[in-house]
Structure 1
């Protein structure tokens, strides 16, 4: 019974991460359109600031007491790491193909098992390592060593991936005592306060079109964060992390639909390997691999 319950929880976590990845890829579409005329610092600020309004009904319903926490330092660390990763990720979206930008950010599952083992003492299984390696190979196939991979953008993108992995693992640690709504609330609040400083250097009136993309990105990102937090509450970060790769496939679809960015043969192979990484980390396969 306990094994079935655990498998069911992991399957639910995988489904939630897929939904989160879909919403996050749509956020990437909004960011790409907004970046045509809006600077990176302002985009990051709006992504956090808009998220605060999602919590107004919750504050009115449950009161400010719901957001009291004894783990403020961990919320602050998660917010700072996630915010730096966000700056790098949004910069990559503005300057690369959408699918390539997603590749950099969603390379984080490669680092998650190691970080989860170091900080959370989570066990690294053979299937986790296999999934991470397969996913890495898929990432390299999608974002081949071309002009956009091994340069300054590469450093920014991969650094954002590593920091995003640290943020994901911190979320996993926070879910032991903190509800998802509280985790995302502190991320938005701290992120808004910090990102407000560089944004003031670029503040100006925005058009309605710009505001629509900025607000849309903020809503999609924060709803995605809530869904992701629920997922990491159901299963270990190292076990379900590779599911994040599916966002690259969604991004490839949006890239084709909106900008006619077409994947080549190697990209298609990469997408297949990414899907295989998701299958490898599924609980059904892991049960069969058990002696």
Structure 2
């Protein structure tokens, strides 16, 4: 396997609760070029696992290996796209995308040519001289994706990258991300609260239990890359995943709202514009 997560555990200090375990014995294998999504209730450690893979955090136990080599810190083979675009507001779109390449010592002309090719891939060729404040939310996120991919990472780590976008923009970016994935063959590790998003994009979906995060279920999926569009089959899979998460969601909501909270069952509907993340 290309990415191996082997017995990973992680805890954090809490002022009132002391040591709080966030991840418990995570065992997961990801093939090279695979698109894997992680879904689960809030606080189950999805983003923490992504940061561990990125090398931004260190596991308390277990290890993470990429192509057999243990991850000991951040590296150029892994790039993160966050929910917030994180663009430099004082730099143009082109300068934002070339920034990492120039830091690596690439000549400016070569870096700009490479950045322009990547911006063409995300359909922003006409906005190279624009500044972030002149762009829509979806355009900013496309710049972030271009900035990540221009570094040619082996693994693209995406932490709820479309959560703040409206449904129409998100649908457009779903299609663009799948096209980029097909062209670059990059391995994608994608964290989301949106079940439908996971179903439409992923080859594998990993469902987490609530804290401490454990793997509850895994699902193999045919994606839009394979020409599968929303239909009764994908609707059924969404319902399966929501059913798997129901008990976990209840635990979180009861902790936050008290035992009076009752989870409303069978709230999933057939509107393909629905955001399954609203249930989590």
User: TM-score normalised to the size of structure 1?
Assistant: 0.29
Name the one with the larger helix percent: 1
User: TM-score normalised to the size of structure 2?
Assistant: 0.30
Name the one with the larger strand percent: 2
